[in-house]
Structures are given as C-alpha cells and as structure tokens.
Amino acid sequence: MKLIQSDAPHIRTKDSVRSIMLDVLLALVPAVAVATFFFGLYALFLCLFGAIVGELIEWFIVRILRKQKDFSFDLSAAVTGLLLAMNLPPTAPWWLLLIGLLVALGVAKHAFGGIGQNIFNPALVGRVFLLISFPTLMTKWTAPVRGFTRMPWDAMTSATALGVLKGSGFSEAIQRFSYVDLFFGNVGGCIGETSAFVLLLGFIYLLVRKRVNPVIPATYIGTVFGFASIMYLVNAERFGTPLFHILSGGLFLGALFMATDMVTSPMTLKGQAVFGIGCGAVTMIIRLFAGYPEGVSLAILLMNALVPLIDRAFKPKIFGEVKV
C-alpha cells in the first residue's frame, strides 16, 4: 500500500466536462426528434453526422495535427457538431455540413487553442461561414413534410416566417404561420430551430441538472420581446407582434443553446445579463433594419467578441470589501 500526498481538497465533484456535454446532448434530443418528425430521416442523419463526425474531426486535430497525447472524448465537439447541424436547412447536403464542421472545429476552436480558449461559438462561426460561402444552399427552406420517412426534398420550397414578415408584412405572415405552428415547430426553417416548445423542454432539463442558469435566455428573449413591443407600437404591420418575434427564427435555439455556451459567455450573472440584453438588441436591429431577416447568429457572435470587456467590467463583489 502506498499513500499519496497531494493538495487539498482531497475530494472532487463527480461532474466533468464530459458529463456536462452529455447533458447538453440529451437536452437537444427532443429537438432532434421533432426535427425528424417534421423534416424526415435525413434531418436525423445530419444531426448524427454532425455529432459523430465532429468528435472524429476533433480527435484528428488533437492527436494527429496538434500531436497531443491526452485526448479524451469529452463530447464538446459532438455538441458543436450537433448544434451546427441543427443550424442548417433540412436540405443541406452532407458535405456542406462537413465543411462547416472543419471551419467550426479547425478554425473557430482549435486555432484559438482548443476547448475553453475559443472566443467565438464554434458552431456559429461554422454557420456564418457557410452562409457567406454558400448563400443559396443555406437559404433553401422547405415546408415541413410531417412524417419520419419522408424526405425534405419531397417538400415544397417555402419561406421562413421572418422572411415573409420582411417581404410581405405582418398580416400575410401571421396568416401563413400561426402562433401555434410557430411554437410547436410546424414551420419551415433550420433543422433544430423551429420548435420553441421542445427547445424549452430541453433547456428545463439543463436547469434541473444545474448545468446552466436562466440569466442569458431570460434577458435575451426578454429584450427581444421588449424591443419588438416598442416597434409594434410604432408600426404593427411592418414590424409584427412581440410574440411573433420571439417564436420565429432561431431565437430559442440561439438564446437557449448558443448564447449560453459557457466558453463564450461572461463569467458573472451581471455580465451574463448584459450579454443577454446585448444579444437581444443586436438581434432585433438586424432583423428589422438590416437586409437580412434573421439576426441571432450574428448578434451572438458580436457579443462573444465583447465578453472579455464585459468580464472586466462586471466582477463579483468580494465578501467584506469596503464600499468606496
């Protein structure tokens, strides 16, 4: 028997990076299931492809390119891969996802030093890269096909709710997309973004497991709601209702699962509130005033860049520190 000498504390929580990432993956399962129902098995294939190939790419980068010996499958790349897949249209070809994964993991994550070091959310970097490089493929929206075995390309092409709002105004948009459809996901859009309901379910699971706190989603969605309310009073037909804004587009996916990414969000609750409010405001500015109907990805990436500043400005109060 050999006694080891080491530093206190001598016990550690059972939580690990892997257990956290596993919970995030589990939290996304309902959204993947609903996406499969609305868009068919190909959507499921893309999700699995993203998660599995993501993890393989990470292994390749760490073991072969960076020659590190201590690789462990911590599932963080699977989360990135799955989120990226969920941010693609249901008709996206598999090779598009592969390119996105390479950019997300190779550039956004490992060029910055790997897990924990990256400034920008890798999945969002991947998505925005694809949007810029392959605009047609990335905006080929289809209506839901409803049925597991049908394929997205069987469906009619369709616009997204925000696209219709922007193009034709609110009365047209709300006629084609009811609130109920928007809430449950019976609308066209990216694979994982359409159902606010299941995304919320997954997020509640993370809350219960104490993996996240609700500050970022609450401030983010709250700001979008508040901003949209003001604009609704200004011009209801042009800007739509607040409820329409929080249910459509990638807001729930973004606010619940992308903006809350630990690595790229602030460290204190106050900072997170500022971050959430910033995300909400930028999202609305892009949605309403820029040439592009959806602003979630860009808003979060922009706020990612401000995190170091936010962290410096909002520190916790040291216990017993005398007020000056």
* Short-list 290, 287, 182, 273, CA closest to 223: 273
Query: Applying CB under 8 A, which part among 11-19, 30-38, 166-174, 175-183 lies near other proteins?
Result: 11-19
The pair of structure tokens assigned to 172 is 């047209």
Residue 233 engages other proteins in binding (rule: CB under 8 A): no
CA angle 162, 279, 94 (to 5 degrees): 60
**Residue matched to tokens 């709710």:** 161
Half-sphere exposure of residue 266, counting CA atoms within 13 Å on the CB side? 26
Q: How far is the CB of 269 from other proteins (least distance, A)?
A: 7
324 binds other proteins (CB under 8 A): no
Q: Which CB atom, from 91 or from 265, has the smaller least distance to other proteins?
A: 265
Q: Which parts of 169-260 fold into alpha helices (H)?
A: 170-176, 179-184, 196-208, 215-234, 236-239, 242-247, 251-253
171 binds other proteins (CB under 8 A): no
Residue closer to other proteins by CB (options 140, 270) is: 270
Contacts of other proteins in 49-78 (CB under 8 A): 72, 74, 76
Residue reference for tokens 């990216």: 190
Q: Is 1 in the site for other proteins (CB under 8 A)?
A: yes
Question: Which residues on neighbouring strands pair with residue 157, listed in sequence order?
Answer: 142
Minimum distance of other proteins from residue 75's CB (angstroms)? 11
Binning the chain into helix, strand and coil, the percentages to the nearest 5 are 65, 0, 35
C-beta of 115 vs 298, nearer to other proteins:
115
Please name the residue that has the structure tokens 């971050």: 275
Query: Contact between 18 and other proteins (CB under 8 A)?
Result: yes
Residue 323 interacts with other proteins (CB under 8 A): yes or no: no
Distance (Å, rounded) from C-alpha 149 to C-alpha 137?
22
Provide the CB-side half-sphere exposure for 158 (13 A, CA): 23
If one asks whether residue 268 binds other proteins (CB under 8 A), the answer comes out as: yes
> What token pair was written down for 33?
């299931």
Query: What would the x/- binding string for other proteins be over residues 115 to 144, using CB under 8 A?
Result: xxx---------------------------
Structure tokens at 248: 């459509």
> How near is the Cβ of 191 to other proteins at its closest, in Å?
26
Q: State the nearest-atom distance from the C-beta of 282 to other proteins, in Å.
A: 21
Query: In the window 88-117, what residues touch other proteins (CB under 8 A)?
Result: 114-117
Helices (H) and strands (E) in the chain, counts: 16, 0
CB of 292 to other proteins, least distance (A): 30
Q: What are phi and psi of 157, to 5 degrees?
A: -70, 155
Rg from Cα positions in the chain: 20
**Binding string, 283-312, against other proteins, x = CB under 8 A?**
------------------------------
By CB under 8 A, residue 265 contacts other proteins:
yes
In the complex with other proteins, the residue whose CB is nearer, 11 or 233, is: 11
Among 65, 180, 236, 262, binds other proteins (CB under 8 A): 262
Residues within the interface to other proteins (CB under 8 A): 1-13, 15-20, 72, 74, 76, 114-117, 262-265, 267-269, 315-322
